[in-house]
Amino acid sequence: MKKWLTLFCLLPGIGCWAQSVDLVRYQELPDPKPVSSASWTAVKPGPNVSFATADVRYAKHTAPDPKTLQKSWKAQAWKGEKVHTQAVVWSAAPLSAVALNWSELKDAKGNKIPAGSASAGFVRYVMTDGLAPTGEGCDERPPGKYDSSLVADPIDLVKVLDVPKQTTQPVWLSVSVPPTTPAGLYTGTLSIGGSGVKPSVLTYTVDVQNRTLPAPKDWKFHLDMWQNPYSVARVHGVKVWSKAHWDLMRPYMKMLADAGQKSITATIINDPWRSQTEDVYGSMVQWTKRKDGSWSYDYTIFDQWVTYMMELGIDRFINCYSMIPWNLKFSYYDEAARKDTFIIAKTGTPEYEAHWRPMLTDFAKHLKQKGWFEKTTIAMDERPMAAMQQALALIKSVDKGFRLSLAGLYHPELEQDLIDYCVATNQTVDEPTMQRRRQAGFNTTYYTCCTERYPNTFTFSPPAEATWISWFAASKGYDGYLRWAYNCWVKDPLRDSRFRTWPAGDTYIVYPGPRTSVRFERLIEGIQDYEKIRILKDEFRAKGQTDKAQQLEKALNTFDVSALANTPAATHLQPAQALLNAF
């Protein structure tokens, strides 16, 4: 599917019409910022091409700052690692049909990294907003409340693009080193040319070290980015759970699996988050109240979704949301009334127990039949303490073997019941608790959301913050990181990342296409670093190399959130990464 359909509706009953949007070639929104004419006066004629830094989001209509440009790029990589950088093309005059081409990489002995292991793509511009001078970002965002601008983030699929006059066009270059590559210094080229102009050739090197990074499926870092199948159906204009929908979701979910994703986001009720997203989550379990008052449950979609994701390698947890939705509203089909209906029931009430006890009993039986019971968690995000305790008591009274998951504040009185516990960035889990949980096979992670000004993955966040996130996890002893939305797309996600609530980009990190992003690639970079840290720590411990272990711990101790108030994330990151690759 190359297009999506956006429906525009008048008042109910009057009708709707559809606008087709090309998913391959599209126009960016107009830049609300005026062209910086002064920055172009010193730009030499013709296309200008240079390596740059992956730490800068280059403004579209401002010539790049020469201080951020680099004559060459040299990366260090383990076998199995993906490394990347940016190049920029800029011109005072328009450039037609700018094309990207790249070569294989070779070392002095004739060993090669195939051209297919490298890739280059144009970094496109999407509309973003920002934050208030103080406070968090969890607020309503009517048009005009915050200043808006274009920011470079989605990495495009096309390899040929027109570049208008007085425009800076970033290019993202990646090299994925095959795990069987012999150690050595490999040289490759990136060629950037346009219609009627001689291509500019950038030469770079990748120093492949004699260390190997495990495959993503074997990474210990616990990545949990919540998936939204319903967004894929809407953006591509297909029926939910149709064959076309399943086919279209595969490359998106494969891209997530290749980032080391561990958890499946499953919904066992309708709209667990009170319609807070553009695309409401439906229930993957069909609840039916029979005429005699008993219940039946259809797990067809749930089973298909779980099987589908497991086949892609995402299989650590099946996180089932939620027994405590924000509006405490529970939908079902009533056979006697022959219609869909709902109840509203608070935890701890007879109505709540009568609704959930039969389902939990049946669900446990079904999960055991499928062999999924040990992987499944009844999952919740932060709800009132009393409500969570009441739900936990009910769950355990049905089957003590049920596993539980929670994302929210740290509650010592709950943690022993939670196999998968994700706490807010500003929370502290004491070291003995962390160790005991790890020894028990429990998972302890942290999350960021609209609350955190930094580090974060908003479209306007400095790119290095996405990498910094995993270093913070390593410094605090967390097993990984959770972000509430992988692909909860807004109305026009390719062109405008703003949302009615929360900072731009809070609801998604990849784009329709599927397209990766600067944010997503930098997040993967940090996860790879986390794996390196883990491997090196184990090696230093086994070999008794206390001096190296101390050097690494000293570097990790610099990753404190408060430091980001005055120092960019890249400033902490660069020396720490250099140390990591020096061992």
**pLDDT by residue (tens digit) across 20-57?**
457 888 999 999 988 888 999 989 888 999 999 999 99
- The whole-angstrom distance between residue 167's C-alpha and the CA centroid of its chain comes to 29
DSSP string, 470-528: HHHHHHHT-SEEEES-SB---SSTTTB---SBSSTTTTBSSBTTTB-BHHHHHHHHHHH
- Give CA–CA dist 11/106, Å, rounded: 63
The phi and psi torsions of 393 (rounded to 5 degrees) equal: -65, -40
Q: Is residue 338 part of a domain?
A: no
CA 376-380-381 angle, 5° bins: 140
Q: Does the pLDDT at position 5 exceed 50?
A: no
What letter represents residue 436's amino acid?
Answer: R
Q: Is residue 56 part of a domain?
A: yes
Q: Which of 559, 565, 473 has its CA nearest to residue 523?
A: 473
Q: Is residue 270 part of a domain?
A: no
Q: Does the pLDDT at position 254 exceed 90?
A: yes
- Give CA–CA dist 422/406, Å, rounded: 6
Q: Is residue 460 part of a domain?
A: no
Write out pLDDT tens, residues 280-310: 999 999 999 999 999 999 999 999 999 999 9
Write out pLDDT tens, residues 369-415: 999 999 999 999 888 889 999 999 999 999 999 999 999 999 999 99
What letter represents residue 472's amino acid?
Answer: F
DSSP string, 173-221: EEEE--TTPPSEEEEEEEEEE-TTSPPEEEEEEEEEEEEEPPPGGG--S
- Position 143 scores a pLDDT of 84
* Neighbour tally for 305: CB within 10 Å: 22
Confidence band (pLDDT; 50, 70, 90) for 11? very low
User: Which residue has better confidence, 7 or 137?
Assistant: 137
- Give CA–CA dist 387/380, Å, rounded: 11
| Residue 204, strand partner residues | 73, 188
The phi and psi torsions of 301 (rounded to 5 degrees) equal: -65, -40
- The whole-angstrom distance between residue 132's C-alpha and the CA centroid of its chain comes to 24
For helices 546-556 and 569-582, angle between their N-to-C axes, nearest 10 degrees: 170
User: Which residue has better confidence, 142 or 76?
Assistant: 76
- Give CA–CA dist 113/111, Å, rounded: 7
- Give CA–CA dist 122/28, Å, rounded: 13
- Position 21 scores a pLDDT of 53
Q: Which of 330, 351, 228, 347 has its CA nearest to residue 270?
A: 330
Q: Is residue 95 part of a domain?
A: yes
Q: Which of 500, 510, 526 has its CA nearest to residue 459?
A: 510
Write out pLDDT tens, residues 191-203: 999 998 899 999 9
Average pLDDT of 318-345?
Answer: 97
Q: Is residue 41 part of a domain?
A: yes
- Position 366 scores a pLDDT of 98
Average pLDDT of 209-233?
Answer: 98
- Give CA–CA dist 236/513, Å, rounded: 9
Q: Which of 48, 157, 262 has its CA nearest to residue 510?
A: 157
- Position 383 scores a pLDDT of 82
Q: What is the pTM of this model?
A: 0.95
How many domains, the chain? Answer: 1
User: Which residue has better confidence, 326 or 351?
Assistant: 351
Average pLDDT of 538-556?
Answer: 98
Average pLDDT of 238-251?
Answer: 98
- Out of 6-10, 103-107, 538-542, least confident range: 6-10
Let me know: does 45 contact 57? Beta carbons within 8 Å: no
Tell me which residue range forms the domain holding 152: 37-213
Q: Which CATH number does the domain housing residue 104 bear?
A: 2.60.40.10
Query: Residue 94: which residues within 8 A CB-CB, separation 6 or more?
Result: 162, 163, 164, 165
- Give CA–CA dist 509/497, Å, rounded: 10
What letter represents residue 577's amino acid?
Answer: Q
Q: Is residue 122 part of a domain?
A: yes
Write out pLDDT tens, residues 413-463: 999 999 999 999 999 999 999 999 999 999 999 999 999 999 999 999 999
- Give CA–CA dist 419/280, Å, rounded: 27
Q: Is residue 576 part of a domain?
A: no
- Position 22 scores a pLDDT of 73
The helix or strand, by DSSP H or E, that contains position 304, with its residue range, turns out to be: helix 300-311
Between the alpha carbon of residue 45 and those of residues 49, 122, 198, the distances in Å are 12, 22, 13
The SS3 of residue 81 is coil
User: Which residue has better confidence, 554 or 45?
Assistant: 554
Confidence band (pLDDT; 50, 70, 90) for 166? very high
- Give CA–CA dist 549/181, Å, rounded: 28
517 HSE (CA, 13 A, CB side): 32
Name the average pLDDT for the chain.
94
- Give CA–CA dist 155/86, Å, rounded: 11
What is the widest separation between alpha-carbon atoms in the chain? 82
The phi and psi torsions of 447 (rounded to 5 degrees) equal: -135, 160
